[in-house]
Chains A and B, each alone.
Chain A
Amino acid sequence: MAEFFAMGGYAAYVWTAYAVFALTLLADACAPLLQRRRALRELRGRIKREAARRP
């Protein structure tokens, strides 16, 4: 197991590369979720404001 993590002495390069891959894609996957939440919140606010304006 330790040998596997050592990557033949290239651990720093190999694992950093895999970490960059995983973290970047994780951030990319979260972005649309956050945008969606914001879009729905804005939409709710707009509907409420329009309802308040209506006599």
Chain B
Amino acid sequence: MNPFVLWFHKFGSPPYFYRVAGRWLPWLYALALVTGVGGFYGGLVMAPADYQQGDSFRIIYVHVPCAWMILFAYLFMAANGLIALVWRIKLSETLAMAAAPVGAAFTFITLVTGSLWGKPTWGTFWSWDARLTSELVLLFLYFGVIGLYRSIEDARQAARAAAFLALVGVVNLPIVHYSVVWWNTLHQAQTVSFTGQSKISPSMLWPLLMLAFATHVYFFASLLARARVALLTLESGKDWVRGLLPGEAAHG
């Protein structure tokens, strides 16, 4: 076997993953916190006010990184769900299910902050605009995955059923992304582009990218923390879990 495949198999083993993720966790939380605070300083203090929106534009720094985050989180969940369905890898089931609550939390933030930004700029907290509606559908998809996972007693069967739902929901992702192109409604089109020229000044852009980095790092931190707990429960009969509780494990 080549070294990469070997590493992949090793990483897929729950005790190894539990140990390595535990080592990474504090660093990921710290990195997310430091870059997050730096991004907030850049966005709230250093970036100038927008010439049209004034200081209300600063909501961009909590809204947009989270909005990018949820598409990434959903793709991550669906990709792990696919691996779980095809190859039945336990760790992929765990990772897919751990991604759902984090994705739901970020979707909630995106919707609430978007609504708080909509009031001063559009004059309304909510409208059934294509982007807003498809984001709401995304939130319900996350809720659906979490609910389905919790409603089936056997954790592994539950994960596979929920992974299937997550895969079906992928159809919503292009709708979220292209909604501002396909339908000319209230939500503005994208300003930041990785393939073309961004229509935003560099002094406003760098805090945004820094916060996008921070939210992605936080996603992985929360994901690993949740996956570790899920593995503890899933493998509670195994020796490696018993070994985590010294003293008591000596008899088991």
User: What residues make up the interface of A, taking CB atoms closer than 8 Å to B?
Assistant: 4, 7-10, 13-14, 16-18, 20-21, 24-25, 27-29, 31-33, 35-36, 39-40, 42-44, 46-48, 50-51, 54
Contact = CB atoms under 8 A, between A and B. Distances in A.
Interface residues of B, number: 41
Given A10-B55, A17-B59, A46 B113 contact: no
Contacts of B120: 10, 13
A13 B109 contact: no
A36 B22 CA distance: 13
Interface in B109-155: 109, 112-113, 116-117, 119-120
Contacts of A13: 56, 59, 116-117, 119-120
B229 interface: yes
A29 B252 CA distance: 32
Contacts of B66: 21
B45 A8 contact: no
A33 to B, nearest CB: 8
A35 B229 contact: yes
Given A8-B55, A13-B59, A17-B63, A24 B108 contact: yes
